[in-house]
Chain A
Amino acid sequence: MAETKKKAKLTNPFEGIVETLFRFFENKTYLYLFIGAVVILLVIFPNTSSRFTQEIMTNLFFYIVVCLGLNIIVGYAGLLHLGYAAFFAVGAYTTGILSSVFGMNFWLTIPFSIVAAVIAGLAIGAPTLRLRGDYLAIVTLGFGEITRLTIRNLDITGGAIGLIGIQRPVLFGITLNQISHFYYMFFILAILAIFVSYRLHDSRMGRAWEYIREDEDAAAAMGINVTTSRLYAFIIGSAFGAVAGSFFAAKMTAISPDSFMFIHSVMFLMAVVLGGMGKIPGVVLGCVLVVLIPEVARGIGPYRLLIFGALLLIIMLYRPQGIWPDRPAISSKE
């Protein structure tokens, strides 16, 4: 039985390679050595590369933080979120307004952006999640658009021009203003995000999410409060996005409504789905693809979104679990 299964798998050469790699990394020593090597390479990276590549890598880390937050909602809880850029905007604008208008220290603005995101998450999530999970998709889509319109029309957010003059964060007496500073800052954030994601996944809440995703009715029958658990996922994910937004504002020092379009929400979602929803290595891989493909293949320019849309369709039709391979024995509903 096991014999035939292996044979069937090996007919796809790509799958064969991945399987071999997986078996190799099942040995924990190799795995830790590999991860250690990657981390060391990434730490010394800024000393050996141009500002441009550092910028791209910083962007990649930033994507990893945002997408891991989105992954809590989409991957863990199985809810489609189409307005993630809006929560990201909530964080960015909270920091932006507090720092440029009221002159507040950057680090002190972060709790405020978390609170703002939680309020927004409750306002959107509580009425919607009470009903059906899939209403959330379209309500978040609407919320994304509405947030952008609101930012554009209000005075305190600087209207269509946006906010300028957001203060740089200061850490241990050093003002963070070099690209390498932000490289390290987002690198640390990405590692933190990965750590938090793993802890959440293994927590009691994480297991409840997985159960709900696989079989909502059975989970409810086992005494899990489906609505509350989903709401937690939605709010925690939103707070994640808001923190990333705060750091984004600090890095850019200027933000405008154009940074928070529907397209950005779609790109985040793309990264989560492409690599494999709910799987942290999968999400990281998805981010690498989404950030690096447009940089490597500059020629695709205007066709980028069309290609990504087609890719998304193909992934959903033929490999819904994403590019990153599944661990065996996970069966989907029906």
Chain B
Amino acid sequence: MQQLFNGLLIGSFYGLVAIGYSMVYGIIKLLNFAHGDIYMIGAFSGLVFLSIVSPYIGAGWPALILGMLITMLLVGLLGVFIQRVAYRPMLKAPRLSILITALAVSMILYNTVMLLSAGRYRAFNVEISSESFYLGALRLTETRVVLIVAAFALMFIMHMFITKTMYGKAMRAIALDRDTCQLMGIDVYKIIALTFFVGSALAAAAGIMAGVYYGTIHFYMGFLIGLKAFTAAVIGGIGIIPGAMLGGLLLGLLEAFGTQIPFIGTQWKDVFSFAFLILFLIFKPNGLLGRSESERM
């Protein structure tokens, strides 16, 4: 039961990052290596914001929620900026070039933060009670409850945004056929920019939540989660938003229960989830929610 809760919580972080990954892949067929670093930048910007405002309004929930919104906005804009400078000129270039560009962006973000944070772990200080209470056999803290509720709320909002609004419809349409969308009068570049904005904002939110959950952040945190988010996206079916959420939750659960198996243990956690990625690629390459794809890209 405890593992179920932990798995869902970690899984919801994976899911939030995986959404951005999956959306960008769906819309411009780019594996955005920098997405994990965006998550890391989100965590660091949240920390910077908190350290600025905490003398005035403390570092409790109000500051945290305000910080999260502002960070989401700023990091979202950063995502749009990166898209405009680095990816948009490459949209017509061969696939290899845009992949290398994404890698370059990731290196720049990662090394900048490494230099700025002097390569050290930073404490993510918040003033939230860490008292635990029990719900049946389940040990909970206020933080964990709020985090999991917030994560699911974000996912729900995202799902509504994609399925019920005009913009969401445009995104889905572009993922199907970009050229036709252009002919139909959709401003494709604007929608791509919006996709980057939303994806980056969600990753930033996940970054801050991870900061609150773990208590420390460091510049290396984005690397593995980028990998996990990709795995989550593949499990759910890449390009499919509900799939990314489902994949993230599932991966979180797999890890939580996988580490309970005596032979595997925590040090093999990442090896375990990578093995799942390979298994999925072999047996179910379109993911759980994906339709079988007839045309090859």
Contacts and interface: CB of A to CB of B under 8 A. Distances in A.
Contacts of B207: none
Contacts of B107: 266, 305-306, 308-309, 312
A312 B97 contact: no
B288 to A, nearest CB: 16
Interface string B71-88: 000000000000000100
Interface stretch (A16-24, A41-49, A140-148, A172-180): A140-148
A150 B271 contact: yes
B99 A309 contact: no
Interface of B: 29, 31, 33, 86, 89-90, 92-97, 99-101, 103-108, 111-112, 115, 223-224, 227, 230-231, 267-268, 270-271, 274, 277-278, 281-282, 285, 296-297
> Closest 10 CB pairs between A and B?
A309-B107, A312-B104, A313-B104, A306-B111, A127-B282, A309-B108, A127-B281, A316-B101, A80-B99, A146-B274
Nearest to B297: A132
A80 B100 contact: yes
Interface string A306-334: 10111011001100100000000000111
Contacts, number: 117
Nearest to A133: B95
Nearest to B238: A135
A313 B227 contact: no
Contacts of A185: none
B112 A332 contact: no
B268 A309 contact: no
Contacts of B92: 334
A137 interface: yes
Contacts of B267: 149, 153
B39 to A, nearest CB: 15
A306 B281 contact: no
Given A131-B281, A153-B268, A142 B93 contact: no
A322 B274 CA distance: 33
Contact of A317 (B33, B101, B285): B101
Given A139-B277, A142-B231, A305-B107, 7 more contacts: A131-B285, A132-B297, A134-B95, A143-B274, A145-B223, A269-B103, A334-B93
Contacts of A302: 115
17 contacts: A74-B96, A80-B99, A82-B103, A134-B99, A138-B230, A141-B227, A145-B223, A145-B227, A149-B268, A149-B270, A266-B103, A303-B111, A306-B108, A306-B111, A312-B104, A313-B105, A316-B100
A80 B285 contact: no
A286 interface: no
B115 A317 contact: no
B100 A333 contact: no
A127 B283 CA distance: 9
A79 B31 CA distance: 13
B89 A317 contact: yes
